[in-house]
Amino acid sequence: MQPPIPVLADYGISPVHGFLPDTLPLSRLPDPYYNKWEAIVANLQALILSRRLRGVIDRLPILSTIGLEHDAEWRRAYSLLGFMAHAYIWGADTPSDRLPPSISVPLLEISERLEVPPVATYATLVLWNFKPLFLDEGIDNLENLATLSTFTGSLDESWFYLVSVAIEARGGPIIPLMLNAIAAAQRGDVILVTKCLQAFAERLTDLTTILQRMHESCDPTVFYHRIRPFLAGSKNMAEAGLPNGVLYEDGSGTETYRQYSGGSNAQSSLIQFFDIVLGIEHRPTGEKPNPGSETEREYRAAQRHNFIRDMRRYMPGPHARFLHDVALVANIRDFVEEHTDNRQLCIAYDACLTMLSAFRDKHIGIVARYIINPSREVRARSRSRSPEVTRRRQNIAVSSRKEQDGEKKRGTGGTALIPFLKQARDETGEPAVEEWTRKFMKRKIKSEGVGDFFAGKPEEGAPVEQDVEVKGLAWSWTMDDEVGGICLY
């Protein structure tokens, strides 16, 4: 018997706002008992700049969670403690490998209640960290959004989060739309499936338009050097000063070090939902498809990215369960493959793949502008400094090439960043039905002045581009390797 189609209300998902909470995030906890938490986060930037944050938190009493009632209050408390935790760890010259009980005790309890890790996740930074300026206007409008909390107090940081909020809000209606498409496919209703796919493609275009606005108010240099360090987790951060991770002190005397990934857009449930409903499968980076296998679908499922799977651990528990349950009933790709004689259906399905591929193209451009280019600038400047100065200035915003025994050493995450993103984009087009669509999405766009006659050859002895290893955020990445996969820890 086929599993039932998930009901959004069972997972706390809004048919209008999607994975954003149906009740707006609280701007403040109503119980004055929690005023100390609110005061610290309201003055986070000043406390970090004055280097007084750790002292203030060390003197903070352990507050009970007994005063938290509704889900919105638990989410607000989680967001507050997530900002406090990351500011405590990364808000000084050297990172702290311990969190005092005033943070860790309530954070561990709240995280267990909300089914999220005790770190600043995507939910902390985006899903539960916004407010509309005007209640009668939509939250899918960037001009109507503001953040509740930031580490730096900068417009750049707020804008970075709010672009994702607007994307989540604009993409929310796609969720019930595609659940209807799945139900229609079960009934064999080709016309309704086609209409749903057409509407999906149009909405995906809107999401790409919002993503393209990132550069308007978020400067790459500000993001890379001022914002990004606070988003780092404690996993694979030995070079940044956390070889064991972070000790969450709870007074028991039996605490062990924990390692978690930091906040990242990879923890958004929305994009994974798109892949699931369209039947898009992802392989480890560098892994080629195996069309000759008799069990190709099983092969793809077995080779699914550990990274993508791991990121579900950082989603609110109900959201992760929703993705799992949707995967059990997803049938759109099979339905289209069974009706390849219906041109309208095939064109609509291919349009969705094309629009999602275009969205990923824009994301690749943003990663290059906000992470890769600043990384290379840092590396170029570090060549002119003495080794002692370079070591003294090293933190998670610094990237460098690693050599060991004459071989390239990948970050412990083991994943090539740009090849991973490009492969994810290319895999988006693999299910395409129309031959023209497949050719269009496989096209290579040549960069101007690269490898042509007028560019000339590099001068003899000129520095050769090397790998850049990127630490922080949700993983550890290398950017130029052509091989290596997300599954290589």
Tokens encoding 119: 């770190």
* Full 3-state SS string of 179-225: HHHHHHHHHCCHHHHHHHHHHHHHHHHHHHHHHCCHHHHCCHHHHHH
Compute the distance between CA of residue 269 and CA of residue 264 in angstroms, rounded to an integer: 11
Handedness of CA 116, 121, 123, 128 (dihedral sign): positive
Structure tokens at 291: 């069309």
**Which SS3 state, helix, strand or coil, does residue 473 take?**
coil
Extract the tokens encoding 278.
């369209």
Distance CA 96, CA 454 (A): 52
Tokens of 70: 């509704």
DSSP string, 234-273: STTBTTTTBSS-EEE--SSS---EE------GGG-HHHHH
Q: Is 17 annotated as a binding residue?
A: no
Cβ within 8 Å of residue 451, ≥6 positions away: none
SS3 99: strand
Cα–Cα dist 154/480, whole Å: 31
**Phi, psi for residue 248 in degrees, rounded to 5:** -90, 95
Sheet holding 98-99, edge to edge: 98-99, 246-248, 257-258
Annotated binding site: 363
Residues annotated in the binding site for heme b, as ranges?
Answer: 363
